[in-house]
Amino acid sequence: MAPIANQPVGVFDSGVGGLTVLHELLVSLPGEDYLYLGDTARFPYGERSQAELEAFALQIADYLLSAGAKLLVIACNAASSAALGAVESMIRRTMRSGAQIDVIGVVGPATQLAVAGSRSGRIGLLATPATVASQAYERAVLGADPHVHLESVACPDLAPIIQGGFPFDERVVETVRSYCVPLRSAEVDTVILGCTHYPLVAPMLQRSLGRGVALVTSGAGVARSVERALASRGLLNPQSGEGAYRFMCTADVESFRAVGTRFLQMPLGEVAHVDLSARVAA
């Protein structure tokens, strides 16, 4: 069945980090309905293999499509890097009547903003080991401007620390500082926060990198891409008021709600638990 305008936008992530992207969507496209799934049972994605990430993303995409999503946002850098093309191919194979559903990842929008904003052509990337290993950002930067240099730093500890909640102690501050050292040495003027958890420690990162370094997150760029994709297919929700948003996770609901409220900066309300173990992607 072809997607219609009043169906929800589906958003998924390994946990609560993608809520930083959803926050931008709620602000930029308030009339849309949203369906968010956090795969907290399999968090973190950052040290998973590319094959695992692709399998997880296909499974979740299949679930959200069956729930009526008219567009998918992969609000996870590791999953976007490993599985964006695979999800797009799955949709092309399974959609009927020639209908098409767009899939928006986080790598392209963040890269475009960083390359456009860099004055020196020296850009840094802070990301999970899986995202760095995929070299998705290197390919995206090369495609945007072959003269830009990208300095990538894998941060295995950062997303789990942030997902674990607040407050942060001096150990966390030292961890953040250690990841910034190679970027300072490389004299970058722009840093991509290549994990949707990282905006929550942006003040620490900014202090460590210096005020002359611009931090780039994917949320604003993703919101623009979603708006353009929906508009091009005539799928912008026509309602004049605020849309609804619903949440699901694959592990503990109360933990997701407690940490997720801080990420979204809005109340989550009811969170439903879903079991993806029995589902097989088409």
Mean pLDDT, rounded, of the chain: 92
pLDDT tens string 123-175: 999 999 999 999 999 999 999 999 999 999 999 999 988 888 756 788 888 99
Confidence of residue 282 (pLDDT cuts 50, 70, 90): very low
pTM for this model (two decimals): 0.92
pLDDT at 182: 98
* 10-31 burial code (b ≥16 CB/10 A, e <16): bbbbbbbbbbbbbbbbbeebee
Asked whether residue 207 carries a pLDDT value surpassing 70, the answer given is: yes
Query: Could you give the 3-state DSSP secondary structure of residue 220?
Result: helix
- What's the pLDDT score for residue 170? 84
Which domains, and CATH codes, for the chain?
A: 9-105+220-273 (3.40.50.1860), 107-218 (3.40.50.1860)
Q: Which residues are catalytic?
A: 76, 195
Can the peptide bond before residue 267 be classed as cis, meaning omega within 30 degrees of 0?
A: no
Q: What is the pLDDT of residue 2?
A: 62
Please list, in sequence order, all residues whose beta carbon lies within 8 angstroms of the beta carbon of residue 47, skipping any fewer than 6 positions away.
Answer: 128, 129, 130, 156
Give the tens place of pLDDT for each residue, 45-82: 998 999 999 999 999 999 999 999 999 999 999 999 99
How many angstroms separate the CA atoms of 250 and 258, rounded?
15
Q: Are the C-beta atoms of residues 45 and 78 closer than 8 Å to each other?
A: yes
pLDDT at 97: 55
Q: Identify the band that residue 26 occupies on the pLDDT scale cut at 50, 70 and 90.
A: very high
How far apart (Å, rounded) are the C-alpha atoms in residues 262 and 3? 32
Kindly tell me if the per-residue pLDDT of 249 is higher than 70: yes
Confidence band, pLDDT 50/70/90 cuts, at residue 281: very low
Residues 6+ apart with CB under 8 A from 51: none
